[in-house]
């Protein structure tokens, strides 16, 4: 399989950059997701790897081979890059059986009938579709149609599989199943996978590493745990998981809330943050709720029972915090509760 190297790639549409100075190395056999809100440049980036879009500047390499480099006028066409691509829409041929759909790219390359049978057989087996080979797409569910699209990408034995929100049209349960299957597929085949999604949960459960993007610019690259626990900036902290943000400033050994400066939390912002106004990020699970005694008193403003927890919105000195309570604890709206914050991270 192959490494994918993106060096300072940028794509401008007119005067605006959809992707700017994007650099990342995706290791051989790695599963990397590009994650970010709609319009942040994920698809543009993936299509530059595939060769459907030429970068305005920068260099793309697959394995040792440079496949895009506008400065040197290199632009290897998509079909010569050894990549397979699957899109959000199922994009299977409605008038062809499952077998014919998957065999199609082989047929174009004049692969022998016998080899077609073998390779299609293996691709369908990988996607658990062997017994549906004679069906037509209208006889398949959405999930099955997407498996056909995946099998069709795999039949060419790609070095790199590029997946652009392939699970977004599936219902929640099927999506979860497919996530696990894609991970397994990667292990079985050793193919390098770049998976684009705007769904942070999807990115977290599948990726070896996540590239978080915003407005065409990489915000952070790291393993899911690292990105969740040590976000590089407020955008990443807010985009991944649930977080509270408290505005305030350094005061002695602590952090005084902007809305109520008499409330000083026992956390010291790192000295490297020199700005006067700072923000402290606190995850809900790092706030404990007690009936009495804690760092702070708060009022319950809203509550939602979600089964494994009760989620509370509590007011503290002009701020609202989201907190999780154990399912068997129950505080009424309007009640006074006490909070202890055990961890937080500062941004300026
Ligand atoms: N062909 C195009 N012409 C002009 N603007 C485009 C074109 N393709 C994408 N864009 C713009 O580039 C930005 C990134 O788009 P895209 O890569 O599709 O984002 P994402 O996949 O993250 O939702 C968006 O602002 C989009 O409107
Ligand atoms: Mg997109």
Question: For the ranges 86-95, 97-106, 271-280, which has the lowest average pLDDT?
Answer: 86-95
Mean pLDDT of all residues in the chain? 94
Tokens of 245: 């943000």
Ligand 1 atom closest to the Cα of residue 198 is 22
Residue with tokens 């579709």: 129
Q: Looking at ligand 1, which residue's alpha carbon is closest to its atom 8?
A: 44
DSSP character at residue 139: G
Residue 107 CA to residue 116 CA, distance in Å, equals: 8
pLDDT value for 46: 97
Ligand lying nearest the CA atom of residue 89: 2
Tell me the average pLDDT across 305-323.
93
Domains of the chain, by residue range, sit at 4-237, 242-347
Indicate if the pLDDT at residue 103 is higher than 90: yes
Say which CATH architecture domain 4-237 belongs to.
3-Layer(aba) Sandwich (3.40)
Q: pLDDT, tens digit, for every residue of 130-152?
A: 999 999 999 998 888 989 999 99
Residue 324 DSSP SS3? strand
Residues with Cβ within 8 Å of residue 9, at least 6 apart in sequence: 19, 21, 22, 23, 45, 48, 55, 57, 58, 59, 60, 68
Residue 176 CA to residue 97 CA, distance in Å, equals: 26
DSSP character at residue 27: P
Residue with tokens 């606190």: 282
Under a CB-based contact definition with an 8 Å cutoff, are residues 211 and 218 in contact? yes
Under a CB-based contact definition with an 8 Å cutoff, are residues 220 and 233 in contact? yes
Q: pLDDT, tens digit, for every residue of 260-310?
A: 899 999 999 999 999 989 999 999 999 999 998 888 999 999 999 999 999
State in Å: Cα 47 to ligand 2 middle.
10
pLDDT value for 310: 93
> Given this chain, do its domains 4-237 and 242-347 carry the same CATH topology?
no
Residue with tokens 């498996």: 147
Residue 131 CA to residue 154 CA, distance in Å, equals: 18
Helices (H) and strands (E) in the chain, counts: 8, 21
Indicate if the pLDDT at residue 1 is higher than 80: no
Q: Which CATH number fits domain 242-347: 1.10.357.10, 2.40.50.140, 3.20.20.10, 1.50.40.10?
A: 2.40.50.140
Tell me the average pLDDT across 220-239.
96
Question: How many percent of the chain have pLDDT more than 70?
Answer: 100
Tell me the average pLDDT across 204-223.
97
Tokens of 233: 């900036």
> Is pTM beyond 0.75 here?
yes
Q: Looking at ligand 1, which residue's alpha carbon is closest to its atom 25?
A: 39
Confidence bin at 91 (pLDDT 50/70/90)? confident
State in Å: Cα 216 to ligand 1 middle.
9
């Amino acid at each position: 399989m192959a490494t994918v190297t993106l060096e300072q790639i940028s794509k401008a549409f007119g005067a605006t950059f959809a992707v700017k100075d994007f650099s990342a190395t995706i290791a051989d056999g790695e599963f990397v997701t590009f994650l970010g809100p709609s319009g942040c440049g994920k698809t543009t980036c993936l299509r530059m790897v595939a060769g459907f879009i030429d970068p305005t500047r920068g260099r793309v390499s697959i394995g040792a081979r440079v496949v895009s480099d506008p400065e040197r006028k290199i632009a290897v066409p998509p079909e010569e890059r050894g990549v397979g691509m699957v899109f959000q829409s199922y994009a299977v041929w409605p008038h062809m059986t499952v077998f014919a759909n998957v065999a199609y790219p082989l047929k174009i390359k004049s692969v022998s009938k016998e080899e077609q049978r073998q390779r299609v057989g293996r691709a369908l087996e990988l996607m658990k579709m062997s017994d549906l080979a004679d069906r037509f797409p209208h006889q398949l569910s959405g999930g099955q149609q997407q498996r056909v699209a995946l099998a069709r990408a795999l039949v060419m034995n790609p070095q790199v599989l590029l997946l652009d929100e392939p699970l977004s049209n599936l219902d929640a349960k099927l999506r979860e199943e497919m996530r696990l299957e894609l991970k397994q597929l990667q292990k079985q085949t050793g193919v390098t996978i770049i998976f684009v999604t705007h769904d942070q949960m999807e990115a977290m459960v599948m990726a070896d590493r996540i590239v978080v993007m915003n407005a065409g610019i990489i915000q952070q690259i790291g393993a899911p745990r690292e990105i969740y626990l040590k976000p590089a900036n407020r955008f990443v902290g807010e985009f991944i998981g649930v977080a509270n943000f408290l505005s305030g400033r350094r005061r002695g050994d602590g952090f005084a809330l902007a809305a109520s400066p008499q409330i000083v939390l026992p956390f010291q912002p790192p000295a490297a943050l020199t700005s006067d106004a700072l923000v402290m990020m606190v995850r809900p699970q790092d706030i404990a709720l007690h009936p009495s005694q804690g760092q702070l008193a708060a009022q319950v403003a809203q509550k939602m029972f979600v089964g494994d927890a009760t989620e509370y919105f509590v007011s503290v000195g002009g701020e609202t915090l989201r907190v999780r309570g154990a399912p068997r604890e129950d505080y009424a709206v309007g009640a006074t509760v006490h909070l202890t914050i055990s961890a937080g991270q500062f941004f300026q």
